[in-house]
Structure 1
Amino acid sequence: MPIKNSDTAGTGSAGPEATGPTILVVDDDPMMRKIVARGLAELKPAQVLEVEDGLAAQEVLGRQAVDVVVTDVLMPHMSGIELMKWAQQHCPGPLWIVLSGLETFDSAVDALQLGAFDYLGKPPHIQQVRVAVRNALDQIELVHERKRLYQQIEHSNQLLAEKVEQLEQVCRMLKEQAAVIQSDLDRAEVIQRALLPQEPPEIDGWCLETLYRSGSSVGGDLYDVILLDQDHIGLVIADAAGHGVAAAMLSVLFKLRLHVTDKAGNLQMPGQVLSDLNQRLHQAITTPGAFITAVYVLLNRNTGHARIASAGHPPCIWASPSGQPKMLAHTGPALGLNPEASYEEREVELAIDDRLLLYTDGVLGSGADAISSDDLARTLCSSIDKAEMPGTLYRAATRNVTSDRDDITIILLERGAGPSHFDDTPPTAEREAANEKQPPQPMTAQAQLRRGVRDNQAFITMAGNVTWVFSHALLDAASALLQKQPQLIIDLGDCDYMDSTCLGTLHEIVMSQPDAVQLQRMSDSIRALFEELCMDAVLSHASPSHEPLPEAMEPLQLVEIDAAGQGARMLSAHETLASLSSENREKFQGVVDSLRADLGSSDDSNAD
């Protein structure tokens, strides 16, 4: 059928630049088509197309986009109802306005049920037609606007999801880097402690009590007790400026550059030792503000004569039962600042029961509860036993200290018979000792494991960011529960992240008794971790439903173990992950080799 363009629609000039709607008028009555088409001209459409029946309308709708169709119901060849049914399958985009007389009212109702936007009686009023079409166009605009908003929201959600994924990747990277850094710090702590004297020497007529506590894994304090010959002992205490790794490097440099004898093996006096050491350190230290304070004592153990030189260090305290304590102030500036610095010497004679106290400034502390050198002197002169003295001073220095504290080192020398003791407790062992005096504390809110039992089911819940420090607690709890209950359900609904050690440990738990272990409430992020590491065996134990948790769930306690035990747990977990795929093996082989080497070195050291 031929298509007729409305004379009033401006179709001759409507081209690609036209932006108005396209309207199709379908009616077998030419006069009716003309009336409707002209009436729509005020809406300034891009086109108003006219066809005389449904077949002609099919051709138009099949080859171009139409916004609104105004159609009669009764037409030859194909009715308006048949046209609408066809359009539902082939071009559902336009909105439909139905024209119908009273004799076709039932058909108009059918059209409305098919989704017609509006119904107008015939002959229609032109104003009604305009309003109906304008409403239809407004509806189309609302649909387009809603679609655009949905697209914007979807795009924003996609960007947000990408940002979240990027942040999660950064967090994982930072956690992995933090674990590597902590591992390096633990190794550095072992190396630094190797620089300390291991056992007190046997010195007839003299007793030595020492205490060393670093503020973190590594620190800037250092001390040594050196048997120089049959008559002389050297005592050294040093404190590098700053904290952490930088201070530890300075203390190691101090140890390497310290020479208490000349090239011929002859003893050097304390002033000369510090002077030579100052020049060596000044050449080696190029960082502004880096320096070391130190005291060197050369003691004749037969006569009690001591020569003391101090480089910017807190005053040594000499206490005698027969007199007032004396402060032995420093005799020169800190080491590494002025290459021309010189160091005088103090000379004292230590009689029976005299005490000489050397300490770093961490003992003095800071703040309202800080103790002074006078406080130290009074404590030194008290009746406190020499073996208890360093611990007493340490507790006084750390009382009410909740933030990071400075390194603390104490050397107490007493002239008198009795055993000597060196106390170089690592930070982990110090915490263990504190835990013996306090009830165990639950894990932090950031990451928490709980366990409970109901009927014949045992439960473990994991929440927050669960890292390697919880791996032993998880494994021990799971093993204990599986020995008593036929089924263990591990709930991961509140778990945000697990590191590789925890993932490997979880895999070991599942495969230890695969018929008894079930996982539930696994988040998409945790599932992604399992999929990334080819943990298909673990995923196969994920339940689509979940069991309600027992009302009483008790926190698992974070039990600290020694470095060898933790290293063995990390090694086992990473060996498990490495065995799951070639990609895992490539990813974790370096970690496995490093852990094996560390544990091998530890075993060799223990064997020695």
Structure 2
Amino acid sequence: MKRALEKLGCAPVLEAADGIAAQEVLCRHADVALVLTDITMPRMDGLELLRWGREAVPGAVWIVLSGVETFDSAVAAIRLGAFDFLPKSPHSEELAVAVRNALERRQLLAERERLYLELQRKVHELEQTSEALRRDLQRAEVIQRALLPHSPPPMEGYCIQAVYRPGQHVGGDLYDVVRLGERHLAFYLADATGHGVTSAMLSVLFKQRLVLVDATSGLPLSPAAVLDAVNRSICEAHAAPGLFLTAVFGLLDTSNASLTVASAGHPPVLHLRAGRETRLVRRTGPALGLAHDAQYHEEHLQIAAGDRILLYTDGLVPSGTERDLHRLQQVLAEQRSSVQDILAQLHDAAQGAERDDVTVLLLDAHAGASWFDNGAEGRAAAASRAPRTEQDVVFYGEADEAAWLALRGRATWMQSDVFHETGQAVLAAQRPLVLDLSACEFMDSTCLGTVHELVARGGVTLVGVAPGVHALFEELSMGDVLATVRRDAPAAPELYAIGAGSSQAAVQQRILQAHEALSSLSTRNREEFRDVVESLRGDQQAGGGHG
């Protein structure tokens, strides 16, 4: 048998007189590819050896040798996991086929295992990438909302309402209402093509290139001039095909109640005139970013008391048919119909799972309360309906005067990265930030250091600091943090949970930076956190800066 195997190219071929001896050989050579064993042997038979070997040498393939009198035992061996059995003594051709098939099976099993492990690795990488993208989009949403107006400007004899709802975390819709001097009120809506990050970046480019006032005279530019200038600027900034925006711009002169409107490929503006037929202001020029030499015209409207002006993006009436426009006019004409009523009757009823971005702006020619709803509460309400877990620690919300971040329960290094990055995004957008610690029972040193880093940037106020957390601030000489604590906390907006999911490298870097920040505050802190900082720095250097 040994000589036959060697002729087949198997080398080296190891021998053992019985099951016990085979155990010793296999323990010394765990990489054995193929085991041929008789069933009847002294001290330990082939079946017992097989039972042991399936656990001890899982990479080996087994073939049993059986005589007529042990045929039933050979069948039992197959049930135990043997690949094949051969009658004693096998012909060379039988042996060659069985050995070749057994080794091929072993190779296939090894390849399957390799592919399975590779698939697991790829799935893990995709999960990490997906989580990183989700967190990036979540933080991009924070930044994009900071570009939207939060408080309506003062206006006598008029009130304005606006609702903004992105279809995803970020969207391509953008709006603003700006007071220009004592007489003029400028407002606009823009809608970038597509959805998600691409459209959001295009809308940011639009806002960046928008100029409302003549640099020489200081007077408001006409709507046509505004659209003409921003169109040329966008065309010069990119030449990518298929990227464009629609926009509508209005300039209201409150001294004589005249409104000038220019529309760059945007859905019709509705002018509901009290007691008269509704007027539609259709596009007065092409969409922005399509043609460098595009020309824009203007429509002039006279606003009477009780009139209503409605601007909206195409997410409100995606089809844009005359029938839908007529339905929109009916809803607008309904007495006391608000922007939220319009959204509920048209957008929410028509949209399915794939929701489009939608923004609606309503100007009423009468005194009343003005407000902007940028969707933070709506998203918070949706989040509040989702199942909450005990791991929810970091929460976010928007108020008119500031963005809010809250830590609840026990805040540790596991939430520090998402807490830090969200706070940094708010401050980078130059929005005031309120840190609500009213429900925070405990903060570890990483979270404490992160709070110090955020406060050091400026624009941060702490509210609801419990005595235990306040004592930690005092113990670690966090004087700058203590100076920002307010006792008279304003009412918090509704907050929604932000999930943690940072990579190991990001968390490790966050822990190091937080402890470095604490170490810089006092000699006592430096001594207390020295070992932690040195250990983290050593780990980072050993890993080449990667986790």
1:84 CA displacement:
11
1:14 maps to which residue? none
1:293 matches 2:243 = no
Q: 1:65 to 1:568 in 2, by over 3 A?
A: closer
Matched residue, 1:174: 126
Q: 1:320 touches 1:381 (CA, 8 Å); kept in 2?
A: no
Task: Give the Cα–Cα distance (whole angstroms) in 1 for the partners of residues 246 and 99 of structure 2.
Answer: 72
Deviation at 1:435, TM superposition (A): 6.3
2:527 equivalent in structure 1: none
Q: In structure 2, what is the Cα distance between the partners aligned to 1:20 and 1:293?
A: 81
Q: Partner residue of 1:360?
A: 313
Larger Rg: 1
Picking from 355, 359, 364, the partner of 1:405 is 355
Residue matched to 1:218: 170
The correspondence of residues 346-357 of structure 1 with structure 2, limited to 5 A, is 346-357=299-310
**Are residue 416 (structure 1) and residue 358 (structure 2) matched?**
no
Match of 1:266 among 216, 219, 224: 219
Do the aligned residues in 1 keep the contact of 2:18 with 2:41 (CA within 8 Å)?
Answer: no
Of structures 1 and 2, the one with the larger relative CO (CA 8 A, separation 6+) is 2
SS at match of 2:186: strand
Alignment partner of 2:240: what SS? coil
Asked whether 1:433 is paired with 2:386, we answer no
SS of residue in 2 equivalent to 1:138: coil
Asked whether the 8 Å contact 2:184–2:254 carries over to 1, the reply is yes
Cα distance between partner residues in 2 of 1:224 and 1:66: 83
**Aligned twin of 1:380:** 332
The answer to whether 1:336 aligns with 2:289 is yes
Find the aligned partners of 1:146 and 1:363 in 2 and give their Cα distance.
71
Tell me which of 157, 173, 192 is aligned to 1:205: 157
> In structure 2, what residue type is equivalent to 1:202?
P
* 1:88, distance to aligned residue in structure 2 (A): 10
The 5 A counterparts of 1:472-487 are none
Q: Is the 8 A contact 2:234 2:288 kept in 1?
A: yes
* CA RMSD after TM alignment: 5.2
Q: TM-score, normalised by structure 2?
A: 0.58
1:455-483, CA deviations, whole angstroms, 9 ceiling, x for partnerless residues? xxxxx9xxxxxxx88999xxx9x99xxxx
Does structure 1 residue 389 correspond to structure 2 residue 339? yes
Q: Shift of the alpha carbon at 1:275? A: 1.4
Q: What's the counterpart of residue 156 of structure 1?
A: 108
Give the secondary structure class of the aligned counterpart of 1:412: strand
Which residue of 1 is the match for residue 135 of structure 2? 183
Q: 1:144 to 1:356 in 2, by over 3 A?
A: same
Map 1:98-137; keep pairs closer than 5 Å. 136-137=88-89
Q: Against the structure 1 CA distance between its residues 360 and 398, is the aligned structure 2 distance closer, same or farther, given a 3 Å change threshold? A: same
1:436-464 CA-to-partner distances (Å, cap 9, x unmatched) read 6xxx5669xxxxx9xxxxxxxxxx9xxxx
Q: Structure 1 residues 261, 153: CA separation in 2 closer, same or farther (over 3 Å shift)? A: same
SS at match of 1:210: strand
Matched, 1:250 2:202: yes
**What are the Cα deviations for residues 280-316 of structure 1, in whole angstroms up to 9, with x where unaligned?**
1111121001111111111012321001111100000
Alignment pair present for 1:281 and 2:227: no
Report the Cα distance in structure 2 between the residues aligned to 1:89 and 1:275, rounded to whole angstroms: 87
- Label 1:270 to 1:163 Cα distance change in 2 as closer, same or farther (>3 A): same
Contact preservation (8 Å) 1:95, 1:136: no
**Equivalent residue runs for 1:67-146 within 5 Å:** 136-138=88-90, 142=94, 145-146=97-98
| Structure-2 separation of matches of 1:352 and 1:314 | 25
Q: What is the distance in 2 between the residues matched to 1:336 and 1:412?
A: 26
1:324 partner amino acid: E
Q: Partners in 2 of 1:374 and 1:151 — Cα distance? A: 76
Contact 1:209–1:390 (Cα < 8 Å) also in 2: no
Letter paired with 2:331: T
Contact 2:315 2:347 (8 Å CA) reproduced: yes
Question: Alpha carbons of 1:584 and 1:181: their partners in 2 closer, same or farther (altered >3 Å)?
Answer: farther
What pairs up with 1:492-503 in 2 under 5 angstroms?
Answer: none
Q: Residue by residue, what CA displacement relative to the aligned partner does 1:160-190 show, whole Å, maximum 9, x if unpaired?
A: 1211111111122122222222222223222
Name stretches of at least 5 consecutive residues in structure 2 with no aligned partner. 26-34, 47-64, 69-85, 396-406, 417-443, 445-493, 513-531
Write the deviation string for residues 221-260 of structure 1: whole angstroms up to 9, x where unpaired.
1111011110001011111111111111111111111112
Change (3 A) 1:114 1:176: closer
Change (3 A) 1:471 1:569: farther
Letter in 1 for 2:158: W
Q: How far apart, in 2, do the equivalents of 1:396 and 1:110 lie?
A: 84
Q: Which amino acid aligns with 2:291?
A: N
Does the 8 Å contact 2:272/2:309 carry over to 1? yes
Q: Give the partner amino acid of 1:406.
A: D
**C-alpha separation between the residues in 1 aligned to 2:155 and 2:180?**
12
Indicate the residue corresponding to 1:34 in structure 2: none
8 Å CA contact retained: 1:215, 1:406 = yes
Cross-structure match for 2:192: 240
How many angstroms apart in 2 are the aligned matches of 1:258 and 1:394?
31
* 1:306 corresponding residue in structure 2: 259
Partner SS state of residue 363, structure 1: coil
Q: Residues 211 and 567 of structure 1: is their aligned pair in 2 closer, same or farther, counting only changes over 3 Å?
A: farther
Q: How big is the shift at 1:399?
A: 1.8
Q: Give, in angstroms, the shift of residue 562 of structure 1.
A: 3.7
Q: After TM superposition, list the pairs within 5 Å mapping 1:317-336 onto structure 2.
A: 317-336=270-289
Q: How many residues align?
A: 387
Higher mean C-alpha deviation, range 157-166 or range 410-419: 157-166
Shift of 1:568: 11
C-alpha distance in structure 2 between counterparts of 1:161 and 1:207, whole Å: 68
Report how far residue 332 of structure 1 moved. 0.7
Change (3 A) 1:391 1:167: farther
**Cα offsets for 1:336-363 (capped at 9, x unmatched):** 1122211111111111111000000010
Give ranges in structure 1 of 5+ residues lacking alignment.
1-18, 23-44, 46-63, 68-82, 97-108, 120-133, 444-448, 450-459, 461-467, 480-499, 503-511, 513-559, 593-608
Question: By how many angstroms is 1:326 displaced?
Answer: 1.1
- Alignment partners' CA distance in 2, 1:273 and 1:397: 30
